[in-house]
Amino acid sequence: MENIFTSIGKFVCTIGSRSKLFYIQHKPQIMLATGIFGVVGGTVLACKATLEVKDVVDETKENLADIREKEAKNEITNEEKGKLITKEYASAAGKIALKYALPAGMITGGIVSFVECYKTEEKDKNLLGLKLAAQAAEFAQYRKRIADKYGEKEENDIYDNVDDSETVTEKVVNEDGTVEKKKVRKRYSKNPGHRYTALYSYGCRGFDKDVPYANMKFLRLQEDIFTAKLRMEHYVLLNDVLIALGFKPVEYGWDEGWLYDPKNPDKYSGLVKFGLDRPEALSFQRGDESSVWLTFNCDGLIRFDIHRLADGIDGMEVYHESEVA
């Protein structure tokens, strides 16, 4: 028997613990659902109670009429009449209050649930913000320790997973205007995904917080403009796009971007896209949100391929990085 009771106790404790954990994890959703049920249910019951109150009012009117009739027949004194009327009004008020008690309680409970849901959401967001800030500060300190030990350049290469094992020949324009070929190490990031993202929001060129759809039209127009530029000039630098959208240029933006080879059109996409067709940007597409994360479909490091294309395309002008800077 002890084993049975012990098992039942453990089962009850397990169910209780899991229920408590489920409540903690889904407290905002539970409070929101409770609030909706309370307000909607209380409103329905209040409407039903209002119909029932009419019967109470009619009954009270009849009783008051009987009291006045008895006074007219001298069956009760004026003092007794006052007491009976007071008693009748008190009885009617009690009946009405009783009918509205449950609806009022449900609506009040629903409002309290809404407030609690909001407080919980705010608390969770604040805690998440503090955790993210703490992790970011810790990661920044870690990067600083690496930079202090190996140097800032090496630390950046580690962070971007840069590979510079390949050597290529590049045309370099000297100060006297002469052109010569030099062997340089080809540097590129093996995980450049985070390098090609940017948040289009307040402070960006063409951004309008009050007309979200206008932001979509502006970005689509920029895609078309830079795609046309790509087809005409055969390359577009990442910094060209960033500057046009109101972002600050980045160091690697002078070496990376888009290419278009008219002799081999299938090698590159030939389109400049900002990732507006991604499922994650659906709310922005519908105009529900004014801001959006842009994901540029860059072809990667194009600095060396630009010179290769220039050798085979008449009229294509290429500038060295030092001239652009």
Is the domain of 121 the same as that of 225? no
Q: Looking at the domain assignment, is residue 166 inside a domain?
A: no
Q: Looking at the domain assignment, is residue 141 inside a domain?
A: no
- Report pLDDT for 164: 66
Taking the C-alpha atoms of residue 264 and residue 309, their distance in angstroms, rounded to an integer, is 10
Domain boundary among the residues 108, 129, 150 is at: 129
Q: Residue with structure tokens 């109101």? A: 246
Measure Cα distances from 292 to 13, 122, 215 in Å: 46, 23, 9
Give residue-wise pLDDT tens across range 185-211. 655 555 555 678 888 888 889 988 888
pLDDT of 17 higher than 80: no
Is the domain of 119 the same as that of 198? no
- Report pLDDT for 245: 94
Model-level pTM?
A: 0.45
Is the domain of 125 the same as that of 232? no
Mean pLDDT throughout 4-23? Answer: 67
Work out how many domains the chain is built from and give that number: 2
DSSP H or E run through 187:
strand 179-189
Q: Residue with structure tokens 């529900």? A: 288
pLDDT band at 12; cut points 50, 70, 90: low
Is the domain of 104 the same as that of 201? no
Residue bearing the bigger pLDDT, 257 or 26: 257
Q: Which token pair is 289? A: 């949100």
- Of the candidates 263, 255, 274, the one whose C-alpha atom is nearest the C-alpha of residue 324 is 255
Taking the C-alpha atoms of residue 297 and residue 277, their distance in angstroms, rounded to an integer, is 12
Q: Looking at the domain assignment, is residue 147 inside a domain?
A: no
Mean pLDDT, the chain, integer? 79
Q: Looking at the domain assignment, is residue 94 inside a domain?
A: yes
Q: What is the DSSP string of 105-116?
A: HHHHHHHHHHHH
Taking the C-alpha atoms of residue 236 and residue 313, their distance in angstroms, rounded to an integer, is 16
Is the domain of 212 the same as that of 103? no
pLDDT band at 223; cut points 50, 70, 90: very high
- Report pLDDT for 217: 92
Amino acid at 83: K
Domain boundary among the residues 87, 114, 129 is at: 129
Give residue-wise pLDDT tens across range 172-186. 666 776 767 777 665
DSSP state of 122: H
Q: Looking at the domain assignment, is residue 178 inside a domain?
A: no
Mean pLDDT throughout 128-152? Answer: 81
- Report pLDDT for 239: 93
Q: Looking at the domain assignment, is residue 142 inside a domain?
A: no
pLDDT of 314 higher than 60: no
Non-local (6+) Cβ contacts of 275 within 8 A are 281, 293, 294, 295, 296, 297
DSSP H or E run through 301:
strand 300-301
Amino acid at 15: I
Backbone angles phi, psi at 239, to 5 degrees: -65, -30
DSSP state of 287: T
- Report pLDDT for 229: 92
Residue 88 is part of which domain span? 2-129
Q: Looking at the domain assignment, is residue 246 inside a domain?
A: yes
Domain boundary among the residues 129, 162, 184 is at: 129
Is the domain of 120 the same as that of 228? no
pLDDT of 295 higher than 80: yes
Q: Which token pair is 284? A: 């922005």
- Report pLDDT for 67: 82
DSSP H or E run through 162:
strand 162-173
Is the domain of 213 the same as that of 315? yes
In contact, 236 and 269? CB cutoff 8 Å: no
pLDDT of 38 higher than 50: yes
Is the domain of 92 the same as that of 9? yes
- Report pLDDT for 241: 95
Q: Looking at the domain assignment, is residue 143 inside a domain?
A: no
Give residue-wise pLDDT tens across range 51-107. 888 888 888 888 888 888 887 777 777 788 788 888 888 888 888 888 888 888 989
- Of the candidates 250, 240, 234, 256, the one whose C-alpha atom is nearest the C-alpha of residue 187 is 256
Is the domain of 125 the same as that of 198? no
- Report pLDDT for 186: 59
- Report pLDDT for 321: 39
Q: How many CB atoms within 10 Å of residue 126? A: 10
Number of H helices, E strands in the chain: 9, 7
Is the domain of 120 the same as that of 197? no
